[in-house]
Amino acid sequence: MPSPFASNNNSSSILESTPSVSTHHNESETDRRCWICLCSGDEPPPMGTRSDAHDWVHPCGCSLVAHRRCLLDWFSEMDLKLRQDPDNNDNNRNNNANANRNDNAGNMEDEENENEFEINIEANLQDIIQGDQPNGNNQTTTLNFSLGSFFLRILGLDSLSTQKPQTIVDIRCPQCKDPIFITIPSSRLVSLKSSLTQHIRKLIKNFSLIITTTSIVGGIYLGVTFILSISGYSTLDRLVPESIKLKIFNVPFSPFYRNFADSLDKNLVPFSKVYLVNTIPIYMLTLRAYPTSLTQEVFLHFFPFIFLNNTQYYPYNSYVNPFINVNKNVNWFKSIKQTFKEKSPLRFLFFFTPLRYAYNIFFKYTFNRVYYKWVNSVRPCFIADRISVDSIREVEREREEETQYLINKEEIEKNFKEEIKQKYQKLVENSGNRPNFLTIIYGKIMMKIKFLLFNPLLSIRWQRFKRELVCVSNNDYSNVFRYNSKFLTLGTTFLWPYFGRFVSDNLLAFIPNLNSFLAKYSETPDESSFVRNLLGCLVVVLLKDLSNLFFTYIKTKQWKKVDVLEFGSAKWRSALTEKIIKRIYIN
């Protein structure tokens, strides 16, 4: 006996031998034959009962009839085959669709009816899952619609406002290609339960996503805060003596606490100012970086003002509001005036920004000019990927002007001298037939001055000098010869206070004139040590730029000595041998 769950192709072959019955409804039950299991009369379908043997359905307009159980089982088998081998079934379905289109090419109405029921599962799967009633062409699906998704609709993921059975098209008849409709009763209770389950599942999913994202962001924030806190307090310990810390944070003197840690334990420093210690590494990084945004500039200028406070602080206020004394009712002008009048250590913080601008100007017109000249002396092919196109054009134009002048130097100078000589003779002629001695001397001097001032080479150099000033003012050429690393910059910024303290203790402390000068303008030895540590950080910056200049000079000398090996020379043969050995080793 053939398989009761035959495939679509097998069913078509069976139908060819089945007699066509045009008056299906007038047949007796004994004459009916199921086109799936081939049983008739009282024969029950496979795995069925006697009641299933008399439960016949005629789902389409052709002669095919089937047991209701066999038809539903056939749906299940088709869905199972799609799950097991979706690619093969997709190809078969496409081939069958192409064949059907070729057979019905002459019938436009059949083609429109066929296209009406061809819709991909992606088109209305979302509507089915959400419980929406399909509209228009979305009322149909092809065999891509899995049975699991089909029964999600039965579980109540449709509209809760209707009790009407839902009609769904899942498959077409293998003989007449008409759609086979299935009706499913709906239940408000099941629909309500399924909808609640779906919304709860979405809520839990979104809540889990929020919790995960918040945990990640919170972990990163706590980690960054921890690193900044350690770096900030480490910077204070390296550069600022204990007595100066108390003065910077406006902690009044008391014999019960003598260091900054004791004042924190006794809650004598507002939490807001304690938290400002975390911004010290950010401020140091801003001092090193070139300002690129308005926010960076504002933070750079405003940072020293954060420590100003002319209000009375009471320890118990921090338990109520830790930010109660942060720049509240602060008269900026009065606070700055009082800071300098009382010679508070806070006054040194206001020199950081002016010193930074002064050093930037010094760097631009000293070190940066040297870097600019080295860029012009090296062929751009070695640095073309590190400077702008406009800068490369300027370099090439300068070289072209100078080369053109050197080629025609003799002719240009000769014409220039002839022009000056003619002007001199004209001056002598205007003075009379016999010019006096002073007129001759004056003419000679003016001729020399004009030759020096209006020399074409001098004009070229003057234009180059003006262009050089503009370039060094707008660009930093120190980065042309080396690649900047943000991680290296960040690491050296954290180590900056350590290097500054080392230079202060091992170099600046042994300069007598410097120590006497600092003692003259300092109130206490600790304050003098604090200023010397700050100067040590400035010396570290200067030494860093000098070391970069030295290594760049070495690299520039290497690039200037770039040469092309002569074919067949000893160096050429050595380079060729080395290249062959490397290629063999790699392969």
Torsion angle defined by CA atoms of residues 418, 423, 429 and 434, in that order, rounded to the nearest 10 degrees: -80
Which two three-digit tokens encode residue 197? 């389950």
Number of neighbours of residue 572 by Cβ within 10 angstroms: 13
Distance CA 102, CA 110 (A): 11
**Reported confidence tier of residue 502, pLDDT bands at 50, 70, 90:** very high
Distance CA 345, CA 349 (A): 8
pLDDT of residue 499: 94
Distance CA 396, CA 403 (A): 10
- Whether the pLDDT of residue 217 is over 80: the answer is yes
Q: What's the pLDDT tens digit per position in 506-554? A: 999 998 888 888 888 888 888 889 999 999 999 999 999 999 999 989 9
More confidently predicted of 356 and 408: 356
**Reported confidence tier of residue 19, pLDDT bands at 50, 70, 90:** very low
pLDDT of residue 45: 83
Distance CA 264, CA 247 (A): 14
Selection from 139, 288, 124, 244 nearest residue 531 by Cα = 244
Q: What's the pLDDT tens digit per position in 131-167? A: 444 443 333 333 334 444 554 454 444 444 455 555 5
- Whether the pLDDT of residue 280 is over 80: the answer is yes
Torsion angle defined by CA atoms of residues 435, 440, 442 and 446, in that order, rounded to the nearest 10 degrees: 120
Work out the mean pLDDT of the chain and round it to a whole number. Answer: 72
**Reported confidence tier of residue 351, pLDDT bands at 50, 70, 90:** confident
pLDDT of residue 290: 67
pLDDT of residue 188: 75
**Reported confidence tier of residue 215, pLDDT bands at 50, 70, 90:** very high
**Phi, psi at residue 188, to the nearest 5°?**
-65, -35
pLDDT of residue 266: 73
Which two three-digit tokens encode residue 85? 């081998």
Chain centre to alpha carbon of residue 282: 21
**Phi, psi at residue 105, to the nearest 5°?**
-65, -30
Selection from 373, 354, 355 nearest residue 365 by Cα = 373
For residue 110, is it left (φ>0), alpha (ψ between -120 and 50) or beta?
A: alpha
In the beta sheet, which residues pair with residue 180? Answer: 171
3-state secondary structure of 168: strand
**Reported confidence tier of residue 5, pLDDT bands at 50, 70, 90:** very low
pLDDT of residue 550: 93
Contact in structure between 268 and 259 (CB atoms under 8 Å): no
Cβ neighbours for 69, distance < 8 A, ≥ 6 positions apart? 45, 47, 48, 52, 55
pLDDT of residue 57: 85
59-63, 223-227, 500-504: which has the minimum mean pLDDT?
59-63
**What is the arithmetic mean of pLDDT over 206-224?**
94
Selection from 395, 349, 374 nearest residue 552 by Cα = 374
Number of neighbours of residue 569 by Cβ within 10 angstroms: 10
pLDDT of residue 145: 42
Which two three-digit tokens encode residue 382? 């070695």
Distance CA 356, CA 459 (A): 35
Q: Which of 45-54, 403-412, 531-540 has the highest mean predicted lDDT (pLDDT)?
A: 531-540
pLDDT of residue 267: 74
Torsion angle defined by CA atoms of residues 151, 75, 120 and 190, in that order, rounded to the nearest 10 degrees: -10
3-state secondary structure of 534: helix
- Whether the pLDDT of residue 204 is over 90: the answer is yes
pLDDT of residue 500: 92
Q: Which of 113-122, 249-258, 346-355 has the highest mean predicted lDDT (pLDDT)?
A: 346-355
Distance CA 309, CA 370 (A): 45
Distance CA 341, CA 339 (A): 6
**Phi, psi at residue 48, to the nearest 5°?**
-115, 180
pLDDT of residue 295: 79
The interaxial angle of helices 8-17 and 86-103, nearest 10 deg, is 40
DSSP secondary structure, 531-548, as one string:
HHHHHHHHHHHHHHHHHH
More confidently predicted of 569 and 148: 569
More confidently predicted of 499 and 191: 499
**What is the arithmetic mean of pLDDT over 556-567?**
83
pLDDT of residue 109: 41
- Whether the pLDDT of residue 214 is over 90: the answer is yes
More confidently predicted of 562 and 1: 562
The length of the chain is 587
Q: What is the DSSP letter of 30?
A: G
**What is the arithmetic mean of pLDDT over 14-36?**
53
Which two three-digit tokens encode residue 569? 């020379």
Cβ neighbours for 501, distance < 8 A, ≥ 6 positions apart? 238, 239, 533, 536
Place of tokens 């919790």: 211
Chain centre to alpha carbon of residue 326: 35
Which two three-digit tokens encode residue 320? 């109520």
Q: What's the pLDDT tens digit per position in 165-194? A: 555 555 778 888 888 777 777 777 877 888
pLDDT of residue 538: 92
Q: Which of 203-212, 300-309, 347-356, 413-422 has the highest mean predicted lDDT (pLDDT)?
A: 203-212
pLDDT of residue 276: 82
Strands 166-172 and 179-184, bridge-based pairing:
antiparallel
Q: What percentage of the chain has pLDDT greater than the value 70? A: 64
Q: What is the DSSP letter of 266?
A: T
More confidently predicted of 239 and 87: 239
199-213, 344-358, 455-469: which has the minimum mean pLDDT?
455-469
For residue 222, is it left (φ>0), alpha (ψ between -120 and 50) or beta?
A: alpha
pLDDT of residue 1: 38
